[in-house]
Each structure stands twice: as C-alpha cells, then as structure tokens.
C-alpha cells in the first residue's frame, strides 16, 4: 500500500490539473489586478474630490461669503465653530424688508441639507431657490453667475463638505415687520438746512 502511495506521489500531474492550476493562478492574478485598479480609481476620485473642495473653499473665501454668513463676523468676532452657519445681523433693503445671511452648512433643518449640489449652483448663479423663491437682492448672485460651471460645482462641493450647524437665522422680515435682531441699515442723509 505504501508503494502505491509513493508511486502516486511521484507520478507527474495530469495536464488537466496543470491547466486548472494555471487558470486559477491567472484568475487570482486578474482579481488582484482589478482590485488594485479599483482602489487606485477610488484614491484618484477621492483626490479629485479633495481638490474640488479645496477650490470651493478658495472661491468661498475670495467671494467673502464668510462676511454675511458666519455668526459674529459683523461684531468683529467670527464664530469659527459655526463657520457659514448664518448671521445674526440682517440687511435692510428699503421697501423690501430685512434679510439675514442664511445658514450655508448642510444642516437638514436650518441650512442647505435638503439642497442638492445642483440646487446650490442654480441659486448662486440665477438667484432661484429650490422652492421657487428668489434670493434677496443683497446676495450678489449676479456676480457669481460669472463663475464657470466647474467653479460653481466646487463651491457647492465645499458647502456640502462643511460640518452641519443647527442655526435658524431670523426673518425674513417684510417692510412693515419689526426685526428681532441687529440690522444694517442704509440711511439717507439729512438734507442741509435751508437758509
């Protein structure tokens, strides 16, 4: 019996076994290569996403969005923990009312959490919100309409990447409403006394 086992162990493997082994090795190699390519693709996509977000951050900073949309900014003490979380100071537009820079973070209840990236792009380039309302004239969407589509998408990607801040800004207040917060107001000069 031990001779038979020895003979069987030293006998060359049949061609089918060799072919099967080579096929398995090729299959494992192909699976490994596909896995590597998949992860390289993910890494490249993630890097491209990071680049887009960095571009958006640059544009938001350059566009001074932080001024009107970060709490504390107009008091000289911007609250970095609520970056772009909405201002407590409104702008009075004669005949229209008082408008506050809203929360631009992805908070679902008080910010842009329900908006898609395309909704954000449309708002900053056309002034139209997803609910059909038009942004207050203080929002310089006419200037942002000049952004390339790629840059507008970068701004949206950056805003979507922010930590969500729960902060409902006051208003809007119509011309007859009394604002419940601080207000920037344009005041006409007093005419000089007549002599």
Report pLDDT digits (tens) over 36-71. 565 556 555 565 568 999 999 999 999 999 999 999
Is residue 4 in some structural domain?
no
Domain count within the chain: 1
| Alpha helical stretches, state H, the chain | 2-10, 15-62, 65-69, 117-126, 141-144, 149-161
Please write the tens of the pLDDT for every residue from 162-173: 999 999 999 899
C-alpha–C-alpha distance, residues 6 and 56, integer Å: 72
Local confidence band at 33 (pLDDT 50, 70, 90 cut-offs): low
* Residue 106: per-residue pLDDT: 97
Please give the mean pLDDT across all residues of the chain. Answer: 85
Q: Which domain holds residue 22?
A: 15-187
Local confidence band at 18 (pLDDT 50, 70, 90 cut-offs): confident
Torsion of CA 70, 73, 79, 81, to 10 degrees: 20
Percentage of the chain beyond pLDDT 90 is 64
* Residue 41: per-residue pLDDT: 60
Greatest distance between any 2 Cα atoms in the chain = 133
Is residue 144 in some structural domain?
yes
Is residue 19 in some structural domain?
yes
Is residue 67 in some structural domain?
yes
Is residue 3 in some structural domain?
no
Is residue 93 in some structural domain?
yes
* DSSP structure class, residue 114: T
C-alpha–C-alpha distance, residues 6 and 88, integer Å: 88
Is the entire prediction scored with pTM above 0.85? no
**Res. 5: pLDDT tops 80:** no
Is residue 76 in some structural domain?
yes
C-alpha–C-alpha distance, residues 24 and 170, integer Å: 66
C-alpha–C-alpha distance, residues 185 and 5, integer Å: 99
Is residue 55 in some structural domain?
yes
């Amino acid at each position: 019996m031990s001779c038979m086992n020895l003979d069987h162990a030293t006998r060359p493997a049949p061609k089918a076994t060799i072919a099967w082994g080579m096929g398995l090795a090729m299959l494992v190699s192909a699976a490994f290569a596909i896995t590597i390519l998949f992860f390289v693709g993910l890494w490249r996509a993630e890097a491209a996403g990071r680049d887009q977000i960095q571009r958006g951050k640059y544009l938001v900073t350059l566009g001074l969005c932080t001024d009107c949309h970060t709490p504390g900014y107009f008091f000289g003490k911007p609250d970095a923990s609520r970056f772009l979380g909405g201002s407590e100071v409104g702008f009075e537009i004669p005949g229209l009312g008082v408008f506050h820079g809203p929360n631009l973070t992805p908070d679902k209840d008080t910010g842009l959490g329900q908006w898609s990236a395309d909704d954000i792009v449309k708002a900053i380039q056309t002034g139209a919100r997803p609910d059909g309302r038009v942004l207050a004239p203080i929002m310089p969407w006419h200037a942002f309409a000049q952004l390339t589509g790629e840059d507008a998408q970068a701004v949206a990607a950056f805003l979507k990447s922010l930590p969500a801040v729960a902060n409902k800004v006051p208003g809007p207040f119509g011309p007859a409403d009394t604002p419940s917060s601080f207000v920037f107001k344009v005041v006409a000069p007093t005419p000089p006394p007549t002599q």
